């Protein structure tokens, strides 16, 4: 499995699928694993890495949100304590998400040596800038809604690590599954986190990390601009220059589909259907 980034505490693995990241952080008193995914051999790589570094420390699994690609490796770490949002815990579509994993495995002839289940949350995040001490390390969480309905931002101030889930990805523009307006609110929180905590590293759910403060701001501003431009074009019935916009991105087919979905959701929010 590709290792996208590594330093003395942190390893960012990158899946062959959708450049989805899995991060392992070796903290003083525990190992934090973020969204272990996708393929069995990739999950195995992460398990082996964790075994190598853990030194009998407890394992915690953080789920940035409940999209099926991010929870697919849950039971590969059966002893882990689970951190996720309250909305994640109460997600009404648990069965649908599990069905998506089973369909994916079915379509691709994938067998796993662990069961597919929806995570049961031990440490529940329910607020913005909520501080939770885990095994002696203070972690700051924020609700991050808009992409989906149950995301969280995670900031580990002692290591300068900001885990953004599927926000602030460089490989894709905002994928809005829930609300463009809530997405904008979430981006404001991201900006606040970057300003307040000055992270050393931003870890995104897909594609490359960033260690560059300007780039962190730029990713936030570009996401904001995209959503605001879309809102403007819907309200004023002016065209959105999709061709120029898409030049920045690979994978045009997927991007066009995501853009169309964004349009649909924003039109509904603006009562312009
Ligand atoms: Zn994702």
- Point out the least confidently predicted range of 22-26, 62-66, 124-128, 252-256: 252-256
Give me ligand 1 centre to Cα 74, in Å: 15
Query: Is position 241 within any domain?
Result: no
Query: Is position 148 within any domain?
Result: yes
Q: How far apart are CA 76 and CA 51, in angstroms?
A: 12
Give me ligand 1 centre to Cα 55, in Å: 30
Give me ligand 1 centre to Cα 268, in Å: 23
What integer pLDDT is reported at residue 42 of this predicted model? 98
Ion ligand 1 — residues with CB < 5 Å: 67, 166, 205
**Domains in the chain, number:** 1
Query: Is position 170 within any domain?
Result: yes
Give me ligand 1 centre to Cα 166, in Å: 5
Q: Which domain holds residue 80?
A: 2-213
Query: Is position 23 within any domain?
Result: yes
Q: How far apart are CA 73 and CA 88, in angstroms?
A: 16
- Point out the least confidently predicted range of 65-69, 164-168, 237-241: 237-241
Sheet holding 161-163, edge to edge: 130-134, 137-144, 151-156, 161-163, 201-203
Give me ligand 1 centre to Cα 231, in Å: 24
Query: Is position 104 within any domain?
Result: yes
Query: Across residues 193-202, what is the average pLDDT?
Result: 98
Per residue in 15-35, pLDDT (tens digit) is 999 999 999 999 999 999 999
Query: Across residues 153-167, what is the average pLDDT?
Result: 98
Per residue in 70-121, pLDDT (tens digit) is 999 999 999 999 999 999 999 999 999 999 999 999 999 999 999 999 999 9
Strand partners, 14: 2, 21
What integer pLDDT is reported at residue 272 of this predicted model? 86
Name the pLDDT band for 273 (thresholds 50, 70, 90). Answer: confident
Q: What percent of the chain has pLDDT over 90?
A: 97
Query: Is position 237 within any domain?
Result: no
Q: How far apart are CA 111 and CA 44, in angstroms?
A: 13
Give me ligand 1 centre to Cα 236, in Å: 31
The count of C-alpha atoms lying within 13 angstroms of the C-alpha of 28, restricted to the half-sphere facing its C-beta, is 9
Give me ligand 1 centre to Cα 35, in Å: 9
Question: At 119, which CATH number?
Answer: 3.60.15.10
Give me ligand 1 centre to Cα 167, in Å: 9
Give me ligand 1 centre to Cα 209, in Å: 14
What integer pLDDT is reported at residue 144 of this predicted model? 98
Q: What is the pTM of this model?
A: 0.96
Query: Is position 132 within any domain?
Result: yes
DSSP conformation class of 173: -
Give me ligand 1 centre to Cα 19, in Å: 9
Give me ligand 1 centre to Cα 62, in Å: 14
Query: Is position 38 within any domain?
Result: yes
Question: Which SS3 state, helix, strand or coil, does residue 75 take?
Answer: helix
Of 191 and 271, the structure prediction assigns the larger pLDDT to 191
Q: How far apart are CA 224 and CA 73, in angstroms?
A: 31
Give me ligand 1 centre to Cα 205, in Å: 6
The pairing of strands 81-85 and 123-125 is: parallel
């Amino acid at each position: 499995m590709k290792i996208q980034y590594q330093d003395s505490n942190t390893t960012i693995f990158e899946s062959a699928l959708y450049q989805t990241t899995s991060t392992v952080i070796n903290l003083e008193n525990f190992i934090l694993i973020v969204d272990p995914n996708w393929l069995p051999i990739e999950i195995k790589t992460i398990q082996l890495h964790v075994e190598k570094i853990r030194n009998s420390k407890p394992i915690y699994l953080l789920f940035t949100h409940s999209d099926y690609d991010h929870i697919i490796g849950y039971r590969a770490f059966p002893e882990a304590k689970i951190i996720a949002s309250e909305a994640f815990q109460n997600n009404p579509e648990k069965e649908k998400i599990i069905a998506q994993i089973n369909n994916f495995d079915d379509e691709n002839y994938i067998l796993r040596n662990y069961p597919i289940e929806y995570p049961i949350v031990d440490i529940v995040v329910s607020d913005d800038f909520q501080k939770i001490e885990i095994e002696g390390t203070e972690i700051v969480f924020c609700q991050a809604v808009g992409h989906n309905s149950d995301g969280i931002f995670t900031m580990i101030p002692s290591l300068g690590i900001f885990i953004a889930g599927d926000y602030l990805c460089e490989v894709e523009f905002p994928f809005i599954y829930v609300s463009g307006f809530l997405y904008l609110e979430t981006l404001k929180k991201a900006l606040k986190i970057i300003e307040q905590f000055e992270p050393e590293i931003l870890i995104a759910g897909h594609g490359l990390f960033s260690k560059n403060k300007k780039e962190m701001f730029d990713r936030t501003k570009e996401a904001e601009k995209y959503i605001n431009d879309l809102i403007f074009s819907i309200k004023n019935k002016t065209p959105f220059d999709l061709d120029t916009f898409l030049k920045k991105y690979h994978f045009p087919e997927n991007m066009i589909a995501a853009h169309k979905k964004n349009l649909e959701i924003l039109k509904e929010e603006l009562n312009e259907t």
